[in-house]
Structure 1
Amino acid sequence: MSNWLLSICALIFVMVVVGGITRLTESGLSITEWKPITGAIPPLTEAQWSHQFELYKRIPEYQQLNSGMTLAEFKSIFFWEWVHRQLGRVIGLVALVPLVWFAARKAIPNGYGWRTGSIFLLVCVQGAIGWWMVASGLTERTDVSHVRLAVHLLTALFIFGFTLWTAFDLRSPGAEPRRVPTIGLWAFAALALQLLFGAYVAGLDAGYAFNTWPLMGGELYPEAAPWLEPVMRNFVDNPVTVQFIHRWWAFVVLVLAVVVARNVKAAGGRRESIFLHAAIGIQILLGIWTLLSGVSLHVAVAHQATAVLVVASFVAAVHRLAQAGQGASTALGTDRDDGRTYVPLIPSEVEGP
């Protein structure tokens, strides 16, 4: 079963990469209808292509930004959005068919039925969120809502992380579910916040605001930058503020990554420690390069792809800590006052795997 879940993770990784290309090539609004079943078949005749193009011509993006687009150019952006949606369908099938097969054979371990079922349901919900995001750009806007984009991206990464954690649980001794240590909760929360602002940067095209590093226009935070009212709007809608936070919160995540890596290495997870160090280091360098390159397509796509690897590295490291912590606590046989087995949540309490 773990191999099945890992295949879902691999498909989600490809999905996020294609989603990044779709966004950066401004292809996301090229398909203006949501047809989960019949939409799997692309236009096959010139008449069908002309019909899709006419539908695209009705939305603000075409009317205000792409009014001179040719049919050949439309086919190019249609391709990426169709591939993105097709991958969603494939992930849905890969999440459903083996699940039904395992359930029919009663091969799902105790405690994993609700988790594997939840993965399939989350994939379905993600498809609906994707359309909810696209729908925000079909009537009044020339792009999709950056808030809805953030929900779409973070949901994808949550499904990826949850599925990967479940796969690791199935591969652990006795297929025992593992609890997230306290340091892991802090790390995941900090990473989620960084990913949220990364999605805001993408949705607001905030990466184009300043292409210098480490200063923004020669200042830490440009004084001449517009400031929105009420103040809290700046943390969601202001491209300058959003880019500023995304720049520097990365180093908070880096500090937590170093702490997690240090603890996991002490618990015998040298490989997980190296993976985490490498992923977070490369991601920060790619983020800087994305800015300096003026948001080059290839660099920006690599930055988004590496974000998935960062999530994977955190999940692998924290799961190793959880496994070491639970194993050590059981061996020690230490109980709480309420009689339950004590599971240390601070990795430093564990001397070895």
Structure 2
Amino acid sequence: MPDSNILSVYSNKRVLITGGLGFLGSSLAHALVARGADVALLDNLAPLYGGNEFNIDTIKDQVTVTIGDIRDSGLLHKVILDCDFIFNFAAQVSHSDSATMPFEDLDINARGQLMILEACRLYNPHAKIIFPSSRLVFGRIQHTPVTEEHPTHPLGLYGVHKLTAEKYYQLYHHLYGMRTVVLRLTNPYGPRQQIKHSKYSIPGWFMRLAMEGKEISIFGEGEQKRDYIYVDDVVQSFLLVGALDITDGKVYNCGYGSSVAFKDMVTALITIVGSGNVRFVPWPSHYEKEETGSFEVDTSLLRRDTQWVPAVSLKEGLQRMCQYYIEYKNHYLFPNL
């Protein structure tokens, strides 16, 4: 396990989290406030996405919130000034919407990232910028576990634009010496995940269906495997790569490091919730074309450089998630899209 003193670097430091009212951003905000950071959040609260002011309800008096968009260059100039760390979580996060709204996805997930990098180059070149990418940059999986060197041939626009953004971050480190780092996330889940609709955050959506005693549809036979990583473990990985100089300019995989068949994840979820049922349905053609195949990540590089180790098993994580939504589900049901 990493030395806890490493994370003391955040004490009294100014930290900006874009997408800060969303699932990952707000979870990170809680951890940073607990470590004495001066935390600022930027979020546009777009209805489709996971931004939710309830996510920061217990720390709302300890953070600064700005409602705005990363594509607003004038606003960016203001919010990045004097920041020591920038965790850039603002994104278009629906894989399916990237196909139906390709230019919107390009504008947010590629151009929006470039705008932040350029603003920092001009006005705050010493800030460390941490960017969450996605396992979908790899495309069809050729071998598991997947290392950082696995070929990257995305099967959809979401993955293409995430990979493009990765290249921006690496390029700005190479050309300008900016302190950037990329974490390729597998399948994060946990409290504060949106449960309004099924466009993304599948564990959250399925938990809502199970809690309401409804049917959960699984494509094919549900044998495809995924690498699920609990939100607290994700947050710890971001804190560590942000704090350590050795991570500058690098790209890391971040996942639990073991895979679970999709149907087994759903079965575990239903067992924990105590309601819900499963129906197996044929693969829709557009989903099948973008299906990567079973995925399990190799996190050796992240572990070596940061001493990070995931601590929460899928069973324990789903139990924590279930308890959270038993208490707070009503804060996450609107709008029902």
- Structure 2 length-normalised TM: 0.28
Q: Which is richer in helix?
A: 1
Structure whose alpha-carbon radius of gyration is higher: 1
Q: Which is richer in strand?
A: 2
